[in-house]
Structure 1
């Protein structure tokens, strides 16, 4: 049970630290942290939670890691579903907390809440095909690094 709680917490923290930086700190013209700051915030969030509770659950942080570790035989199949459920619930809880914080701003608009997308909803106007290719490629590298 400790491992499941740890996976809930690590995913919640990832949403808070990474997505929270994008929602709460990236957009200020003079002081905002921008794309580089958000990237660093995600990286620092992963490092801090890995050091804090990685020894408990392995700090998978997301279902792709749990599934990838299972596929290569380094994670027991009986743990995959509980980890994935904990990660999804942790992500939802993190997003809910972030929503409560961000919605306290007078000009808060739900449609602009850390939205990602493709085509006209992408900062670069990239297609869905481009989005899928980068998602698959970066997830592969992410899992490759973790397995290394």
Structure 2
């Protein structure tokens, strides 16, 4: 279990450092920035890297909503899930800490102004979508994301392609929704940057815990009862 927790922490660190790092360092604005498409690809490629590099150890959940979905689907026990979730949050905080250390190495960076890729919604945040839109987006997209994961890693799935399918799905979710919430679909990914940014990022954090967990849990339940599961 210790090896699995280390793998989950390291993989979640990679996700935060690559994905949020793309937003903070490479930038979404200006002619020299990689743009929203580049940020979406960074998140997706981070999942692909972690899935193939660490998946054999822990399954590379990297996300409390995924671990909850696995429990609801009957593919994981609560004890292991809590260990995974703890490791994921620790990894996300460490990833955000590393990113903060790198980003603050330039005089033009301010955490108050530039942030750490934290999630949010409402006035002053990206597309200024409201609370209802944020909850609906995060819940629905996490449901779809976990449904893909359960299918891609279940019996009958094409062997060797799970990491690619999952990474591309996360990329697509980001392509659709960065303007809505910055895209969480992962409570750990949201907690990491929020710890350092504080203020509004902490105040908004409940949205990015409640909605993804609800979506992931529902995906697991529907999988367990056979509605989204291939025939045995």
Aligned partner of 1:122 in structure 2 is 125
Q: How many residues align?
A: 148
Deviates more, 1:103-112 or 1:43-52: 103-112
Q: For residues 23-102 of structure 1, what are the structure 2 equivalents within 5 Å?
A: 23-27=24-28, 29-102=30-103
Q: Deviations over 1:85-142 (max 9, x none)?
A: 0000000000000000011110211122124321113211100111111000010001
TM-score (structure 1 length as normaliser): 0.95
Q: Does 1:137 align with 2:140?
A: yes
Question: In structure 2, what is the Cα distance between the partners aligned to 1:49 and 1:121?
Answer: 33
Answer whether contact 1:26 1:37 (CA < 8 A) is retained.
Answer: no
Aligned partner of 1:7 in structure 2 is 8
Question: In structure 2, what is the Cα distance between the partners aligned to 1:132 and 1:90?
Answer: 25
Greater than 4 Å deviation, 4+ residue runs: none
Q: CA deviation at 1:27?
A: 3.8
Question: In structure 1, what is the Cα distance between the partners aligned to 2:118 and 2:124?
Answer: 8
Q: CA deviation at 1:28?
A: 5.5
Question: In structure 1, what is the Cα distance between the partners aligned to 2:49 and 2:68?
Answer: 23
Deviates more, 1:120-129 or 1:46-55: 120-129
- The answer for unaligned runs of 5 or more in structure 1 is none
Question: In structure 2, what is the Cα distance between the partners aligned to 1:128 and 1:104?
Answer: 34
Deviates more, 1:130-139 or 1:108-117: 108-117
Q: Deviations over 1:36-70 (max 9, x none)?
A: 00001111110011000101000001100001100
Relative to structure 1, is the Cα distance of residues 122 and 104 closer, same or farther in structure 2, using a 3 angstrom cutoff? same
Question: In structure 2, what is the Cα distance between the partners aligned to 1:89 and 1:120?
Answer: 30
Q: Report the secondary structure of 2:123's partner residue.
A: helix
